[in-house]
């Protein structure tokens, strides 16, 4: 009987930790072929998309998806609250509108991208939000 109590308590704590580390989002997954196409055309399913690499700047500098922009996941919540002109001057690109443009996020293997997708969904980007979970690990291993 005691083991059952400990199991339930551990499950509740684990769920709480996972929810905090990986906020839920409605991000739609995309494949390697799709991210390769988006990096060339800037579009997916008729929507203009911006690719955001949420790894740290040194990881980004070492290699990234072509045409991706870098906003580290630890900066993203603050960045989303910036006025458009300050965002542009700090990150060197314009954040897309919430209605007609979308965002693809990726990182090394998916963990940070999941957090970023949660932040973007909370900021009303849920309709055109995509995640490339395999991340740079898969992309860099599969040159075109």
| Nearest residue to 106 via CA among 139, 135, 73 | 135
In the numeric block, which tokens belong to residue 61? 């500098």
Residues paired with residue 52 on neighbouring β-strands, in sequence order: 69, 105
Spot the catalytic one: 107, 117, 120, 129.
107
Between the alpha carbon of residue 143 and those of residues 40, 55, 67, 77, 106, the distances in Å are: 13, 20, 15, 32, 17
Q: For residues 73 and 79, give the distance between their C-alpha atoms in angstroms, rounded to a whole number.
A: 10
Structural element, H or E, at residue 131: strand 129-131
> For residue 129, what are its two tokens?
């939000």
- Alpha carbon distance 16, 71 (integer Å): 26
107 annotated active-site = yes
Active site residues: 107
């Amino acid at each position: 009987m005691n083991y059952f109590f400990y199991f339930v308590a551990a499950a509740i704590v684990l769920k709480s930790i996972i929810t905090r580390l990986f906020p839920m989002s409605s991000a739609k997954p995309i494949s390697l072929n799709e991210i390769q196409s988006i990096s060339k055309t800037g579009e997916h399913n008729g929507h203009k998309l911006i690719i955001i690499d949420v790894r740290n700047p040194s990881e980004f500098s070492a290699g990234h998806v072509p045409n991706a922009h870098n906003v580290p996941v630890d900066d993203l919540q603050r960045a989303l609250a910036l006025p458009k002109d300050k965002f542009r001057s700090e990150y060197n690109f314009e954040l897309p509108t919430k209605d007609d443009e979308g965002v693809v996020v990726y990182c090394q293997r998916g963990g940070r991208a999941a957090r970023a997708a949660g932040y973007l969904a909370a900021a009303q980007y849920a309709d055109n939000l995509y995640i490339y979970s395999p991340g740079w690990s898969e992309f860099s291993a599969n040159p075109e």
